Amino acid sequence: MSVNILFCHKRYLRYIIMTGMILCGLLLSHTSYAECTNSGSTFGTYNYTSSNIATNAPVTMTGTIVCTLFSRPFWDVLGLFGSYNQISQANICVMAEFSGNTSSNGRVSLPVRVYGTVGGGGDANNMINGTWYGPATTARSGNTISYNVTLMVPAQTASLLAYPIGTYTVTARIYWDMQAATRGCERNTAINSSTNPDSGNMVLTASYVIPKFCQVSTTANMNFGNLSGVNVSGQNYDATGALSSTCNSGTAYSIELGLGDNYSNALALRRMYNSASQEYIAYDLYSDAARTRQWNTNQVVNLTGTGAAQISTVYGRIPNIAQTAVSPGNYGDSVIITVSY
């Protein structure tokens, strides 16, 4: 009888000990979660103009990142006894995900490069989509790391004027993962994970705005050459010049020619001037070879841009009208070209 009582007593003690161990384990357990937050710019816009159309188009975004770990005992359902702790590691790996092109506009898109650093990790010259860079020594101030990332449309060999008017957008998701080890990147991409509290990602967005704009230049000045009997010969003298205009694709525009420096209201004609003799030779400019359509500030030439240079011929004439004979010499005039769009 005593043997049986002793046996039951041992089982009871064993049960108490095991229950205490389980309770102790529960009291020591806790729940935790992490979050990395960034403060700074994540969006930027680049506005093209006629002066920067042939240059690199960078959109740089900068800011700081802080990773925070929150821990609390399991029984603290209200979080009254939890604690927040900023965390970081000695090394960091960085990766960028991006398509390599902007959104399309009229089935046209722009190529994009991504480069920069997050906490000292990354590539300051060129990042390849999906490639992890590092581990690099984490550049940090306390537990705060900084980012400086650029999304850039490189300068194109063909003028961007060929691209349709509009806004082109590109996004890049930047991942970072801090780690204690210096060998190999852990390649973690989990967000807000209690098992990987020092990693995160952010989305950077760049927009490139191509407005309506044009460029114009003369390709051939008008030269009537050496003439004899001007104003008294009873004949017309003709010459041609040319100008080049380039407007981006789909842009409607007009070209007007100024009246020159010596316009005569009485003759309704432009005039070339010789400063030595202070004499004039009347002439005019036309948009057609027959020289029936004057080209001035009221009668313009209308075109639609293609993104490529468009050559317009300017037809000049010294008309057969009764004018005073002029002295030999050089006669000239300057005409302002105005493009409206």
Instruction: Give all domains of the chain, ordered by start, each with its CATH number.
Output: 29-210 (2.60.40), 214-340 (2.60.40.1090)
How many Å apart are CA 300 and CA 310, to the nearest integer? 15
- Contact indicator for 40, 61 with CB cutoff of 8 Å: yes
Q: What is the pTM of this model?
A: 0.72
Closest CA to 147 of 90, 36, 62: 62
- Cα dihedral across residues 113, 117, 122, 124: positive or negative: positive
Overall average pLDDT of the 245-251 stretch: 89
| Residue with more model confidence, 75 or 242 | 242
Overall average pLDDT of the 87-97 stretch: 94
pLDDT band at 75 (very low <50, low <70, confident <90, very high): low
How many Å apart are CA 51 and CA 48, to the nearest integer? 8
Those residues whose C-beta lies under 8 Å from the C-beta of residue 329, and which sit 6 or more positions away, are: 274, 276, 277, 279
Residue 12 pLDDT greater than 60, yes or no: no
Question: Could you report the per-residue pLDDT of 46-60, keeping only the tens digit for each?
Answer: 999 888 988 999 999
For residue 161, report the phi and psi dihedrals to the nearest 5 degrees: -60, -20
